[in-house]
A and B are shown apart, each in its own frame.
Chain A
Amino acid sequence: MRANVAMFLAGVLFAVGLAVAGMTQPDKIMGFLDVFGAWDPSLLFVMGGAVVLNFFLFRWILRRPNPLFASTFHVPTLRHLDARLIGGAALFGAGWGLAGYCPGPGVASLATLSTESFLFVGAMLVGILGHAGLKRITAAS
C-alpha cells in the first residue's frame, strides 16, 4: 500500500514537472523539433535537468540492497540494439512530431478534458493494444 501511495505521489510530481517544463504545450514540443525553422531549444534544458539529476541519484539509490517499499529493483538489463528498437523509436518520433504529445504529457493533459487529449490518448491506447495483440499472434505462430 505504501508503494502504491508513493507511486501516486510520483505521478503527481511527474505531471507537475511536465507542466512546469512546458512539455504539456504541444506548440513547445513542435518548436523544439522544428530544428530547421524557429527552433526553441528549451526542451534540451528539460532533458538536461532530468538526466543530470538522475545520473547521480540513480547511482546512489542503486547502491541500496533493495527499494524502500519493495523487495527488489526492476531495472532493464538488455543492452543489444535491434531493428524493433530502432523501428519503434522512429515510428514513435513520427507520431510525436505530428501531434506534439509523447505518452506522459498526453495522459496528464486528460485533466483538461479537451477533445484533443482524448483523441490522442484513445488512439495511443489502441496502438498499445495493437502491439500487444500482434506480439501475442507472432508468439503463437
Chain B
Amino acid sequence: MDWTWLSATLGGLLIGLAASFMLLSAGRIAGISGIVEGAILGKVAAAWQRWFVGGLVAGGAVALWLAPGAFASSSTVPGPVLVVAGLLVGFGTRLGSGCTSGHGVCGIPRLSPRSLVATGTFISSGMATVTFVRVCGCWS
C-alpha cells in the first residue's frame, strides 16, 4: 500500500467540509443524485441545485487544471458497458433515494438506519460486480 491514504483522508475531509457548508448555508443535504434530478426536473425553486451542479463541473475543471492526473483512467470499460452502468446508477440511486454522498457522506453521520443499510448494500453489490467481472474476464 502506498501513501494514498493521506490524500484520501484529506479529500474526505474536503468532501465533508463541502457537505457541512451546504447544511450550514442553505440547510440542504449534499445528496448528488437527488440534486442532479432536481437540476434537470426542477422548477424555479430548484435553482440552488443547478448552481451546485455548475460548481461541481467548475470544481472538476479547477482540479483538472491543477492536477491533470486527477481524472486519470486506464479503464478498459467498453462504451456499451458505460451506458448500462450509467442507467443502473441513475435509476438505482433514485429508487434507493441516494448515492455515495447522500447515504454515505451525509446519512451515516446522522446515524440514519436507511443510509447505513443502503451504504452496506451498494458497497456489497459493487464488490460482487467487480469480482464477477474480473473472474469472468468479460472485457479485460
Contact = CB atoms under 8 A, between A and B. Distances in A.
B26 A67 contact: yes
A89 B96 contact: yes
A4 interface: yes
B30 to A, nearest CB: 7
A100 B74 CA distance: 11
A51 B105 contact: yes
A78 to B, nearest CB: 6
A91 B109 contact: no
Given A95-B84, A98-B88, A90 B33 contact: no
B18 to A, nearest CB: 4
Nearest to A6: B25
A27 B11 CA distance: 17
Interface residues of A, number: 113
A139 B8 CA distance: 42
Contact of A49 (B10, B58, B64, B94): B10
Given A15-B63, A33-B129, A50-B13, A92 B88 contact: yes
Contacts of A80: 114
**Chain A contact surface mostly:** helix
Contact of A16 (B23, B63, B133, B134): B63
Contact of B62 (A12, A37, A47): A12
A53 B108 CA distance: 11
Contacts of A99: 75, 77, 81-82, 85-86, 89
Contacts of B119: 89
A92 B89 contact: yes
A22 B7 CA distance: 8
B113 A97 contact: no
A48 B15 CA distance: 11
B37 to A, nearest CB: 5
A91 to B, nearest CB: 3
Contacts of B137: none
Contacts of B20: 53-54, 57-58, 61
Given A13-B18, A19-B60, A91-B92, A46 B85 contact: no
Given A42-B4, A45-B5, A101-B85, A89 B57 contact: no
Listed from nearest, the 10 A-B pairs whose CB atoms lie closest are: A11-B55, A127-B90, A21-B11, A88-B96, A49-B12, A123-B86, A15-B59, A93-B125, A95-B88, A97-B129
Given A45-B12, A128-B33, 14 more contacts: A6-B26, A7-B48, A21-B12, A34-B134, A57-B16, A67-B25, A79-B113, A95-B89, A99-B81, A103-B32, A104-B100, A120-B82, A125-B40, A132-B37
